[in-house]
Chains A and B, each alone.
Chain A
Amino acid sequence: MDVFQLLWLIPALPFFSFLILSLSGSKFSRTGVGVFATISVGISALITLIIGIQFLSSPPAGHFYEQTLWVWFDVAGFKPSIAFYLDPLSLVFTFVVTFVSFLIHWYSIGFMKTEEGHVRFFAYMNLFVFSMLMLVLANNLLLLYLGWEGVGLCSFLLIGFWYKDPYNCYAARKAFIVTRIGDTAMMVGLLMLVKNFNTLDIASILTTAPQTWSPGASQAFWVTILLLGGAVGKSAQLPLQTWLPDAMAGPSPVSALIHAATMVTAGVYLIARTHVLYELAPAVQTLVAIVGAATLLIAGFSAIVQRDIKRVLAYSTISQIGYMFLALGVGAWSAAVFHFMIHAFFKSLLFLSAGVVIIAMHHEHDIFKMGGLRKKMPVVFWTFLFGAGALAAIPLITAGFYSKDEILFFAMASTKGSTWLWLAGFVGAFITSVYTFRMVFVAFFGEQKHDIPYKPGISFKIPLIILGILSLIAGFIELPHTFGHFTPFSDFINTVFPAVQLIPEKEGMELTLQISTAVLALFGVFLAWQLYMKRPQMVTRFKETGFGKRLNDFLFSGWKFDWLYDTFFVKPFVWLSKIDKSDFVDRIYGGVANLNLYFNKLLSATQNGNVRSYVLGVALGAVIALTIILFL
């Protein structure tokens, strides 16, 4: 049997699990719900693995496989179908989504053990996995958009999971509305594509676009910039990045799955998927790189001053996705996807570890109230350290080094790259290493501030250990030219993407760049050790100076973007709606209603229940009738 025919089962299984859980979840036992949800995602992951092995050992013709289930609708020649498209790019995403989801579901069994509404939680998680898989497997952009909105919905539902706290609901609404801005732009982009090509089928758009549009065509410019709008909304890039730090109001597994590993990288997937269009619009592609570079710096600086462990991780997520955008912008498609995969492993690991720490600390998020956790929770410490190492790109031993190094090299050496972009990434790498190890040192080293009797269970540990190992070794599938030159990953995925155009004279700089990046990362760790372990008073003293305090506040609030949007968009809008509340059109309708009420009052006065007044009415009527007959 052709294993590719099982493709539809990959999204279908989580969906069926969602249906069963949402319809009859209360009939399961408490752990039964979690185990059921986990197994459904696990089987999806298994099928992905089987299909992946098949794909690697005997690739289908043209390096893609398409499975059409049925035609969705057929209107005036526009007929999108429910169909899946599997190529190396979507295979990588599917693999990461199912596999990371499986581990996070597993972890959630323990995490949700004592929480209220665990059925709701697992149902939403399954729905999310389904939507995300629809997104990455869709063969047309409309189905992709369905999954896109589906993950947005699940994100909203899961951020507001603890809906009894109004702050969580606020965060959920904020995430939903901010991403909606991007989604609207994306929808307009899709409509433009429909108008130009009368189809949303990805493969046919990508083949016909270069024939109809010349490079730099204004159509291509607008379509790609609108799609970029959707991507920056979903992936929390500048200028729509403000929702992600607040989205940390959701449970830790949600942050790990949706707001670190999978959903927020949907923007990366979208751009990678439509890379042909971006190559037709070089201006927009440069913009992607600039957005990525600016975002990674802004988010990185904000991460340095955060106190909430999950907010640090949120800003680091924004920053890492910034790297992916940088890679996309310089045309290093495979490097972006590679970094996405590595990032999914180590960032979900960091979030899950943080979740264990937070549970152990009785829902304390402030890293400065932790401290000394190293001895109490060795497994969590080591896994967190692996994740942090990968995030900070500790050279040679961590996966993050290989992926980030590749991006930095291409930022410099690609024909679309520049020294400035490289410099942004380079500084960003340094900041990343500082804030990551600040978190590690403050939370896990030093003196223990609270007694923690809590011991994480086995269901927490296994996913952590698996992800920890992956964070270390996953990088070895893509070794740089200077170091082994073993590149099965990019060989595999480059059947989708064109190769990166390198500037010949900069090609030789690779080793120099690698060494400088490695040294810088280690120096960042050393600086964090100096600042937060050896001389913490230096930092506090700097914070007490006027400039330091203001700088700290500025960075803490995420460069005041919330304030900016509040002042320029929210408040004028609220003001407008307030003055528009009593507009004259309303008055017309209100007047009609009031007139009716007035007549009702008049008429109901006649219905006073007094028989004699009815008689009076009859007599008056007789008088009037008679008068009319006689005198008119």
Chain B
Amino acid sequence: MIYVPANMGLLLAAILFLLGLIGVLTRRNVLFILMSLEIMLNAAGLAFVVAGAHWMQADGQVMFIFILTMAAAEVSVGLALILQMHRHHKTVDTNVLNLLKD
């Protein structure tokens, strides 16, 4: 194992998170949005692990496991929704799905 400065690790997490955010904001395809969300979740997990490693505590990793669990659940439900969306509307474009506006 090697020493990783905590602020470098956090910076990486921040960059990955922001890339994910850019992906969510720019892409119209709902699949890409889902992937970008995964990136963001992963970045959040990375930040937890970095912090945990820095303080030499197991809590960071525990949080990562929770995030992982949540990501799995989220992806399964999200993909089911995408499938239904594609089935009913024959599209993956989120701009089309604006029926909720007033």
Contact = CB atoms under 8 A, between A and B. Distances in A.
Contact of B102 (A607, A615, A616, A619): A607
A612 interface: yes
B94 A604 contact: no
A610 B28 CA distance: 10
A305 B28 CA distance: 87
Contacts of B98: 608-610
A608 B94 contact: no
A611 interface: yes
B24 A604 contact: no
Given A607-B101, A609-B99, A616 B25 contact: yes
Interface in B59-102: 94-95, 97-102
B101 A611 contact: no
A616 B33 CA distance: 13
B31 interface: no
Contact of A619 (B25, B95, B100): B25
Contacts of B21: 615, 619
A611 B24 CA distance: 10
A609 B24 contact: no
A604 B101 CA distance: 8
Interface in A589-620: 604, 607-612, 615-616, 619
Interface in B30-55: 33
Contacts of B102: 604, 607
Contacts of A611: 33, 94, 97
Contact of A612 (B94, B100, B101): B94
A447 B51 CA distance: 120
B25 A610 contact: no
A604 B102 CA distance: 7
Interface residues of B, number: 13
A607 B100 CA distance: 8
Contacts of A604: 102
Contacts of A619: 21, 25
B25 A615 contact: yes
B6 to A, nearest CB: 19
Most chain A CB within a 10 A radius of its CB, from B28, B33, B95, B99? B95
B20 to A, nearest CB: 11
A287 B96 CA distance: 84
Contacts of B24: 612, 615
B25 A609 contact: no
A608 B97 CA distance: 10
Nearest to B99: A609
Contacts of B101: 607-610
B97 to A, nearest CB: 7
Nearest to B98: A609
B86 to A, nearest CB: 16
B99 A612 contact: no
Nearest to A615: B24
Nearest to B30: A611
Nearest to B28: A612
A80 to B, nearest CB: 57
A573 to B, nearest CB: 44
Nearest to B26: A612
A629 to B, nearest CB: 15
Contacts of A608: 98, 101
Nearest to A608: B101
Contacts of B97: 609, 611
Contacts of A612: 24-25, 28, 33, 94-95
Given A604-B102, A610-B95, A612-B28, 18 more contacts: A607-B101, A607-B102, A608-B98, A608-B101, A609-B97, A609-B99, A609-B100, A609-B101, A610-B101, A611-B33, A612-B24, A612-B25, A612-B94, A612-B95, A615-B24, A615-B25, A619-B21, A619-B25
Interface of A: 604, 607-612, 615-616, 619
14 contacts: A608-B98, A608-B101, A609-B98, A609-B100, A609-B101, A610-B95, A610-B98, A611-B94, A611-B97, A612-B95, A615-B25, A616-B25, A619-B21, A619-B25
10 nearest CB pairs, A to B:
A609-B98, A609-B101, A609-B100, A608-B101, A611-B94, A615-B24, A604-B102, A610-B98, A607-B101, A607-B102
